Each structure stands twice: as C-alpha cells, then as structure tokens.
Amino acid sequence: MAGPGPSTPVVHVVGNAALDTTFRLARLPMPGETLNAAGGGQGLGGKGANQAAAAARTGAPVAFHGAVGSDEAAATIRDRLAAEGLNLDGLIEAEGASDRSVILVEAGGENAIVSLVERARGFDPLADAPGAPRLASRLRGGDLLLMQGNLPLAVSHRCLAFARHRGAVTILNASPLGESDDWHFGDVDWLVVNAGEAETLTGARDPGEAARRLLGRGAVHVVVSLGAGGALMAGGNGVRRFPAAAVTPLDTSGAGDVLCGVFTGLLAQGEASGPALAAAIAAAGIAVTRPGTLAACPTPAEIAVLFPSTPKDRS
C-alpha cells in the first residue's frame, strides 16, 4: 500500500485488536443457564481494529496503533489487519495472550459482548516500544486521531491532549465507558456515544439533552447514535437529527464501530460532517443485516455509493 502524500491527512486509530468468537442463539441466556448455539464463527475484532478497517474501506489512509500478544492468535490478528491495508508500524507484541471477545447474538439481532482487553489496557502509544515508532513521532497537524474506551483513561487523556496540541482532529468513541465518572472531553473535537452511554454519562434520558450536556463538558461536537432511529449531531449550531433506513437486523454487534470508522474516514478525506454522518449511518444499516463485527462491514465499493459527493479521487 502506498504511503500518503505529505498533505494527505492520516487517520491514526489507537485501540484494541482481538479475535472475536460469535455464538448465534434464539435468545440470550438467563443467569446460570446453559444454551446450545444455533451457529457461530470467529474473526478479527476489537473496537479499534473494527473502526480502523471501516475507515480504511472509505479510501482514507489509516495507521493502527495497538498491541497483540505473543501467542498464535497474534499472527492471525496481524495478518487480518494487514489485509485491510492498514499501516501496522505502530502495532507491538507484548508478552501474554492476545485480546479476545465472546459475542452472543440473539435471533432479533441484539447482542451481549464480553471482552478480554489486557493487551489494550497495558498499551501506551506515547511510550517507547522496541521496534515500533511512538505515536508522537508520526502524528502530524491535520491528521485525525480516533480512540475508544479500551485503553486506561489516563493514557486516553494524554493521547487526546497530545493530538490537540499537535493540531490533529480528535475523535473519541467513549465505549466501553468503564470508569465513566473520570472522563473529561476538553480535548475532544468529536465525541461519539450511543444513547445508553450518553444517558450514563449525563443522567439525561433524552438524547438531545444528553448531547447538550456533553457539549457543556468540553466536547466541540457530539454524535449520539440511536440504533434504528439513526443519530443526532450536536454542536455550536444546535442539534440536528439524521434518520436511518428501515432494515431487518440480524446482528447489531458491529454497527457502532462501522459508524465511527466510516464517519472518521470520510472526515479525513474532506467530506462535510453532515454527509459523512449520513453515509456512516447508512453503512451501519448495512452492517446490521449481516453476521459478525468486521465481517459485516460494507465493502469499499458499497461504501463509495453511500455519499453524494466524492471527497477525493479514489482511482
């Protein structure tokens, strides 16, 4: 994959990469109950990896920064990330098992996810790492930094502050929330959360009111995803709602990551935020009709037809 030109913004995704094991069930189990799955599979996952791949499928240059273990799964994760065309100079190997997730999906498409994120919790992209350049040596003014909630909060806050000081655009998908009371958003240009996360962070059940409160906590812009209801965007010009097309969901587990990745990838290529979010919602709508997380993400060709203008020549 050719490197970006000197003026081409790069999307730097800092996050986790994992192997996902998915089980499809008629319903989710009750506490203490054992159920037999109707089907299942394994593939690349982790919120960071999913969002990086989705951003790359828009045509944006993407560099992934994260950690894998010293086990056989690490080679599988690395190979699958490379197949997405990501720059992996910032992917390091750490002693121990690679991160994994178990995803339970019921017949209606809703899911429950449990993740092991020890490698992500021990990763600091601003620290020296043998064989991997630090984020500080690669992030340029005008680039975009996309993060999630899997790293320790102190590390996330340092990365966001560094990126803001460097002149990069910062996007935070504050999921999973974890230590939610400690989040601050003063270095966040785009905060992306779902409706449940927005309520947890603010105490407001109304998504619009929650978005306004998150603006008051320092975020420049807020996107609240609403599932089948689309999403809303809040900023200095008020709150704007974006609908979603009606679909029959099969598996919703990767939808949020597709939305974040596609939105960020299109912003990196100069698309305005409104059309970028509309395209990201449409891409997420495609993803929920398919099984899996990254496996459900629309292809580059499918993404290319979702927005009315072409941010740059993709030939």
CA distance 57 to 83: 11
What is the pLDDT, as a whole number, of residue 8? 82
pLDDT band (50, 70, 90) for residue 295: confident
- The average pLDDT across 34-53 equals 93
Beta strands in the chain (DSSP E): 11-14, 18-24, 39-45, 62-68, 87-93, 99-105, 111-116, 144-147, 169-173, 190-194, 221-225, 231-235, 238-242
- pLDDT tens digits for range 155-192: 999 999 999 999 999 999 999 987 656 889 999 999 99
SS3 23: strand
Task: Sketch out the chain's domains with CATH numbers.
Answer: 11-17+47-67+125-304 (3.40.1190.20)
Rounded Cα–Cα distance for residues 55 and 15 (Å): 14
- At 129, is the pLDDT very low, low, confident or very high (cuts 50, 70, 90)? low
Q: With contact defined as beta carbons under 8 Å apart, do 262 and 286 qualify?
A: no
* Contact in structure between 166 and 153 (CB atoms under 8 Å): no
Give pTM, 2 decimals.
Answer: 0.90
Residues in the chain: 315
User: Using 50, 70 and 90 to split pLDDT, how confident is the model at 313?
Assistant: very low
Q: Averaged over 3-9, what is the pLDDT? A: 66
Whether the predicted pLDDT of 212 surpasses 50: yes
Arithmetic mean of pLDDT over the chain: 91
Whole-angstrom distance, CA of residue 148 vs CA of residue 172: 6
- Say what percent of the chain tops pLDDT 70: 92
Q: List, for residues 250-268, the tens digit of each pLDDT value.
A: 888 889 999 999 999 999 9
User: Mind listing the pLDDT tens digit for each residue in 45-60?
Assistant: 999 999 999 999 999 9
pLDDT for 179 equals: 60
| pLDDT tens-digit series, residues 219-255 | 999 999 999 999 999 999 999 999 999 999 988 888 9
Which pLDDT score, from 0 to 100, does residue 306 have?
85
Give me the pLDDT at residue 131, please.
59
Q: What are phi and psi of 238, to 5 degrees?
A: 100, -160
Compute the average pLDDT of residues 209-213.
98
Residue 246 pLDDT: 95
Average pLDDT of 125-143? 83
- Of 56-65, 125-134, 271-280, minimum mean pLDDT range: 125-134
CA pair distance 119, 60, nearest whole angstrom? 26
Q: Confidence class of residue 314 from pLDDT cuts 50, 70 and 90?
A: very low
- Is the confidence at residue 6, as pLDDT, over 70? no
pLDDT band at 117 (very low <50, low <70, confident <90, very high): confident
In angstroms, rounded to a whole number, what is the distance separating the alpha carbons of residues 244 and 304? 18
Beta bridge partners of residue 22, listed in sequence order = 41, 103
